[in-house]
A and B are shown apart, each in its own frame.
Chain A
Amino acid sequence: MRSCRDITALVSQGLDRKLSLGERLAINLHIMMCSRCRSFQRQTRFIRKAARRYTEHLQSRSGKKT
Chain B
Amino acid sequence: MLVKAGAKATGLLTEALLAEHRPVLFRYALLQLRDDELADDAVQETLLAAWQSASTFEGKAGLRTWLIGILKHKIADHWRRSGREIVTSDIGFTDTDESDSDEDDFFMSNGQWNGGPSAWNDPEAALRQQEFWGIYETCQNNLPPKMAQVFMLRELVGLEADEICRETGLSDANYWVIMHRARLRLRECLEMRWFNQSKRNKEKRHA
Contacts and interface: CB of A to CB of B under 8 A. Distances in A.
Contacts of A54: 133, 136-137, 140, 156
Given A39-B120, A43-B120, A46-B123, A57 B156 contact: no
Per DSSP, chain A at the interface is helix
Given A47-B186, A58-B30, A36 B110 contact: no
Interface stretch (B47-55, B71-79, B87-95, B111-119): B111-119
Contacts of A64: 36
A43 B121 CA distance: 11
B137 A47 contact: no
Interface in A24-66: 35-37, 39-40, 42-44, 46-55, 57-59, 62-66
Given A48-B155, A58-B30, A62-B30, A4 B113 contact: yes
Interface stretch (B8-16, B57-65, B177-185, B198-206): B177-185
Contacts, number: 104
B161 A17 contact: yes
A40 B27 CA distance: 27
A6 interface: yes
Interface string B109-149: 01111001111100100110000010011001000000000
A21 interface: no
Contacts of B140: 54
The 5 closest A-B pairs by CB, nearest first: A3-B111, A63-B36, A51-B155, A39-B117, A5-B111
30 contacts: A3-B110, A3-B112, A6-B111, A12-B180, A13-B180, A15-B179, A16-B176, A16-B179, A36-B118, A39-B116, A39-B118, A39-B120, A42-B120, A44-B187, A47-B155, A47-B187, A47-B190, A49-B127, A51-B151, A51-B156, A54-B137, A58-B30, A58-B156, A59-B26, A59-B30, A62-B35, A62-B36, A63-B35, A64-B36, A65-B36
Interface of B: 26-27, 30, 34-37, 40, 103, 106-107, 110-113, 116-120, 123, 126-127, 133, 136-137, 140, 151, 154-156, 160-161, 175-176, 179-180, 183-184, 186-187, 190-191
Given A35-B119, A50-B126, A65-B36, 20 more contacts: A3-B107, A3-B112, A13-B176, A13-B179, A15-B179, A36-B113, A39-B116, A39-B117, A40-B187, A43-B117, A44-B183, A44-B187, A49-B127, A51-B156, A54-B136, A54-B137, A54-B140, A57-B133, A63-B36, A63-B37
